[in-house]
Amino acid sequence: MKSLRVASYNIRKAIGTDRRRSPERVLEVLGELDADVIALQEADRRFGVRSAAIPPWLLESMSQYKPVPLNVHVDSMGWHGNAILVRKEADIRTHDVLHLPCLEPRGATMAEVELGKAKLRVFGMHLDLSGLWRRKQAAAVIHAAAQRDAMPTVLMGDLNEWSANRGCLADFARHYSFAPCGRSFHARRPVAHLDRIMHCGQLKLVDSGVHDSAASRKASDHLPIWAEFRL
């Protein structure tokens, strides 16, 4: 059986816990993760032309990844800050952006990728600070996933849910299983499971966790989470 490793990481526009912007540190953490597919949140700057927090030339020259080409804005990597990275050798079969109900701009991304003979559908998201809007956004993502043909599917991102099993977590749990990754926020002293990875029944969870390293504790206020699956 083929194994795949996925990860989710809120990079906070590449601004570290020392308040310095350093995309190089983020790339160092991505290298440590060594995942096949990575969902990023806050991957674009917030104002102006919303340029990518990791310059394209830097991603190309200093990493093993390429972005899913969402082509929403010329200088952006993502959609409302949500981006998906895949290994350079991966075949991106299709991709899409999701418009989510919101008070402030929010969105989600989707990509179907092929690595070797393994095929995977990935949704990346960054949900609202409001519990009511998080549930509406979760419903929109669940509905979008249900409209597509069945295939191995992972949903991941910063859900902004502080409760253990209520709100949008309960909504997702009716359809997907959660990987028990662990506490990812705040990077200096993790107390909350804000970042989550969920999967369908076609995937067998092998292992999961939070990537806690000297680099990841400085690169962002979130620690990245990861999960390994067998198809």
Instruction: Identify whether the C-beta of residue 195 lies closer than 8 Å to the C-beta of residue 184.
Output: yes
Give the closest residue to 127 by CA, choosing from 168, 182, 95, 166: 168
- Degrees (nearest 5) of the Cα angle 92, 13, 7? 45
Q: How high is the pLDDT of residue 72?
A: 74
Mean pLDDT score across all residues of the chain: 95
Residue 143 confidence (pLDDT) above 90: yes
* Domains of the chain, earliest start first: 3-230 (3.60.10.10)
Beta carbons within 10 angstroms of residue 97's beta carbon: 16
pLDDT score of 71: 74
Which residue, chain included where needed, has tokens 């959609």? 79
pLDDT digits (tens, 9 = 90+) for 2-50: 899 999 999 999 999 999 999 999 999 999 999 999 999 999 986 555 6
Tell me the pLDDT band of 104, cut-offs 50, 70 and 90. Answer: confident
d(CA 102, CA 196): 20
Tokens of 214: 């000297």
pLDDT of 47 reads 57
Give the pLDDT confidence of 70-91 residue by residue, as tens digits.
Answer: 977 767 899 999 999 999 999 9
pLDDT tens, residue by residue, 206-228: 999 999 999 999 999 999 999 99
